[in-house]
Amino acid sequence: MQTENRSEPVRTLPAALRGWARESPGRVALRHGAEQLTYADLDASVDRVAITLAARGVAKGDRVVLIGQNSVAWVVAYLACLRLGVVVAPANNRLNPGQLSDQCELIEAKAVLYDASTAELVRDSAQSDREVIELGELLRRADDSAEPAAPALPDAPSPGDLALISFTSGTTGVPKGAMLSHEALFKGALAVAEFHGSTQDDSTLVLVPIFHNTGFNDQFGHMLVVGGRTHLLTKYRTADAIVELRERPVTFLAAVPSILRMLMMSEEAEHIYGPASKLFFGGSPMPAAWIDELLDRWPHLRLTHAYGLSEFTSIVSFLPHELVASKGESVGLPAPRVQLKVVDGQGRRQSPGVTGEVWVSGPTRMTGYWRQPGLTEKKFKGEWLRTGDLGYLDDEGLLWLTGRVDDVINRGGEKILPSFVESCIAQRPDVGQVVVFGIDDPVLQQRVAAAVEPRPNTLFDERAARDHLAQRLPDYAVPERWTVYDKLPLTASGKVDRREVARRFSHHAASGVPDV
């Protein structure tokens, strides 16, 4: 696809939208329940909102916080900011008001765009001198042409311009804003499309919060660069996802393994996976037993395991479909235009099979953390980004992740990788989901604990699980404490929240109340 100047290739997401609006104006671009926009509709709406923002004093280079549930209005506002040359900062809607205010202060936000579900979160911002605009009202003002004296839009942003600040601290911790360029957003989305061979005929349902890189880049951005169709689920609930996928099937499913597992265990699973042709998972390893079940029940699916980082726009590596059945816990080979290596503590390349820290480089790498040069310096090593993830390369060049540098459990000097223990536990037929974590110990420093969510209509058998692990793990790696949850807590992106489980365990242990 080309821009208006046919000799110039498309290099940004706003340019991609403009191109498809001209080439395929009537094709559906975005759908949320019964609401839908064609590419021409979406392009026109983005222009109107960009003009309305400009009339409110939001100018190229300003920073704008965008917070809300998955909606057409969120997507239109996101693209309008990009088209205007504004730096958009998608915010986690699980923050508390103080944390959101801290992010706004850090980036000196000119405006906060929010929806009704997040009105309480923006109360502190509403008391400041920055613009606070509800998304529904923003679109109504744009559609009503309420800004007759609005200025013309500035020149289109350049690929190297700053486009987005991606906060990586989740719901806790000091905010870290990874700065991503327009080129990074476009090439990150393009890498997903190229790897999967996606076309205009493809479609996806965004199950995760769209503020997450998986939502705005790997799914929406991916569909935008190929002219495909994006469906939105307001907020993930298994029952709602089943209804949506049954009524409006899609070809490309993407989620963390825990969400895919919940869908697999539903009675309506055939209506979800049957019509799909591509399944994309990442965020944490998928146990081999789950992969085997997926491929046994739906052999037509092309499964892809991926590994990504907010600081790298998203995707670092892909595991090809033909290797998923035999090496499904590997995250595969570098994505297009990406280089990676595994190094020791001095930055020297490790030999195949030897665990070290994963370093990556490529055009989707962040330019740094917003106004945190010291933290940026620690994260960068020349052209390389230190991921903080542990892993090793095998003899075929496949990358296998083994955990986080800060997640490794140190039990009396024995280093234990939680992900491997979790994979072994997940082989049990009574286990739906599991998370392994370290608990403080005055003698050994840490001991191993596990929290399990049983499969529906089953009871977890701790003794059988211990016997199972005794055949597969050294004795020091077998969890000494077990707890069973009806539902394990999840992060905003749908992964089991290891730190929250560990926090609850410690709290209940200190209070003498059983952890449930």
Confidence of residue 152 (pLDDT cuts 50, 70, 90): confident
pLDDT given for residue 4 in this prediction: 40
Query: Which amino acid does the sequence have at 344?
Result: D
Please tell me the CATH code under which domain 37-180 is placed: 3.40.50.980
Count of other CB atoms within 10 angstroms of residue 354: 11
Confidence of residue 68 (pLDDT cuts 50, 70, 90): very high
- pLDDT exceeds 90 at position 41: yes
Q: Which of 139-143, 323-327, 380-384 has the highest mean pLDDT?
A: 380-384
Confidence of residue 403 (pLDDT cuts 50, 70, 90): confident
DSSP class of residue 214 equals I
pLDDT given for residue 150 in this prediction: 55
Q: Which tokens is 290 given? A: 């789950």
Identify the weakest region by mean pLDDT among 10-14, 317-321, 443-447, 451-455. Answer: 443-447
Architecture of domain 409-511: 2-Layer Sandwich (3.30)
Stronger pLDDT, 346 or 5, i.e. the higher one: 346
Contacts of 413 (CB under 8 A, 6+ apart): none
Confidence of residue 512 (pLDDT cuts 50, 70, 90): low
For residues 35-42, average pLDDT: 97
- pLDDT exceeds 50 at position 258: yes
For residues 378-384, average pLDDT: 96
Separation CA 449–CA 483 (nearest Å): 8
Among residues 362, 333, 358, 330, which one has the least CA distance to residue 343?
358
pLDDT given for residue 76 in this prediction: 98
Q: Model confidence over 421-449: pLDDT tens digits?
A: 998 999 999 999 999 999 999 888 899 99
**Given the structure tokens 């039990």, which residue do they identify?**
411
Separation CA 40–CA 196 (nearest Å): 26
DSSP state letters, 236-269: --HHHHHHHHHHS--SEEEE-HHHHHHHHTSTTH
Of the chain, the percentage scoring pLDDT greater than 70 comes to: 93
Q: Give the chain's end-to-end CA distance (angstroms, integer).
A: 54
For residues 494-509, average pLDDT: 87
Confidence of residue 495 (pLDDT cuts 50, 70, 90): confident
Spacing of C-alpha 336 from chain mean position: 19
On whether the CB atoms of residues 403 and 215 are closer than 8 A, the answer is: no
DSSP state letters, 34-61: TEEEEHHHHHHHHHHHHHHHHHTT--TT
Give the mean pLDDT of the chain. 91
Confidence of residue 26 (pLDDT cuts 50, 70, 90): very high
- pLDDT exceeds 80 at position 514: no
Three-class SS of 184-213 = HHHHHHHHHHHHHCCCCCCEEEECCCCCCH
Q: Which tokens is 52 given? A: 């309305």
Contacts of 101 (CB under 8 A, 6+ apart): 124, 125
- pLDDT exceeds 70 at position 211: yes
Please count the residues of the chain: 516
386 forms beta bridges with 359
Separation CA 165–CA 190 (nearest Å): 19
- The residue ranges of every structural domain in the chain are 37-180, 236-404, 409-511
For residues 192-206, average pLDDT: 97
- pLDDT exceeds 60 at position 249: yes
CA of 41: how far to CAs of 35, 36, 141, 167, 352, in Å? Answer: 12, 9, 16, 30, 51
Q: Same CATH fold, 236-404 and 37-180?
A: yes
Separation CA 242–CA 164 (nearest Å): 32
Please tell me the CATH code under which domain 236-404 is placed: 3.40.50.12780
For residues 114-142, average pLDDT: 88
Among residues 291, 300, 299, which one has the least CA distance to residue 264?
291
Q: Model confidence over 303-336: pLDDT tens digits?
A: 999 999 999 998 999 999 999 989 988 999 999 9
On whether the CB atoms of residues 469 and 427 are closer than 8 A, the answer is: no
What is the phi/psi pair of residue 400, to 5°?
-120, 120
Q: Which tokens is 31 given? A: 């759908």
